[in-house]
Amino acid sequence: MSESSTLVTAAHFEYVAARTQGDDALLRDLKAAARDAGLPPISIAPEQASLLQILLRSTGAREVVEVGTLGGYSAIAMARALPLGGRVRTIEYEKKHADFARAWIARSDVADRVTVFQGKGMDVLPTFANDSADAAFLDADKASYPDYLRESLRIVRTGGLVLVDNAFAFGQLLDERPKDREVAAVRAFNDVMAREDRLQSVIVPIGDGVWVGVKLR
């Protein structure tokens, strides 16, 4: 560990979470309904949602592209950080998830700022124009992350953000025998991200680890 780093423990994460604005009624109800509908409980943590909102607000983002909508939790959170006229284009492969997200986005305060595209990330991303987004958030199938990164670097403008969830591979990043089959994909992607010289990026160790990158050129 470098000289100036603190070894962050589970207690530190609890401390951080306890000092983070929690979910409002809509996002709490959405999560409860998602659980009842059998969607997996894998939306980003509230402290990650807060980080994404801070980054979007501080860069003045208007156009966001997301891969991996699930129930719409992160899409609604990000849309709330955009100015009037801003838009989140979010891509979801599973029809059940896309339908659920559309219903909850429709009853949210940002219904006019989120569009759900049902399809595979690599079928939909190529339909988005060059330089048409200020930020991309990647949170779908991990094996496709290198492809999503390549597309994001085309779609996001210079100075925009590339944000990626699960850098810590569901907590199994450093396990010798990880249980989840996507861990190898996350490890390989983290090395791709570290080598990508069009981005200045760093893993922020909240939630399951989120890459924050800014497109330099």
Query: CA-to-CA distance for 144 and 114, rounded, in angstroms?
Result: 23
* CB closer to ligand SAH, 55 vs 140: 140
Q: Are 145 and 64 in contact, with CB atoms under 8 Å apart?
A: no
Residue 139 binding ligand SAH, by CB under 6 A? yes
Give the neighbor-by-neighbor strand order of the sheet with 114-118: 114-118, 87-92, 63-67, 133-138, 156-165, 210-215, 199-204
For the segment 104-133, give every residue that binds ligand SAH (CB under 6 A).
120-121
- Tell me the torsion sign for CA atoms 28, 31, 35, 37: positive
Q: Which of 139, 148, 163, 206 binds ligand DHB (CB under 6 A)?
A: 139
Q: Which of 47, 92, 151, 165 binds ligand DHB (CB under 6 A)?
A: 165
Closest to 31 (Cα-Cα) out of 44, 20, 18: 44
Site string for Mg ion, 131-170 (x = CB under 5 A): --------x-------------------------xx----
Residue 151 binding ligand SAH, by CB under 6 A? no
Task: Compute the least distance from the CB of residue 84 to ligand DHB, in Å.
Answer: 30
For the segment 5-64, give every residue that binds ligand DHB (CB under 6 A).
42
Query: CA-to-CA distance for 46 and 142, rounded, in angstroms?
Result: 21
Query: CA-to-CA distance for 177 and 183, rounded, in angstroms?
Result: 10
Q: Which of 119, 143, 170, 205 binds ligand DHB (CB under 6 A)?
A: 170
Distance (Å) of CA 4 to CA 7, 186, 195, 203: 10, 26, 23, 16
Residues that bind ligand DHB (CB under 6 A): 42, 139, 165-166, 170, 208
Residues that bind Mg ion (CB under 5 A): 139, 165-166
Residues that bind ligand SAH (CB under 6 A): 42-44, 67-68, 70-71, 73-74, 91-94, 97, 120-121, 139-141, 144
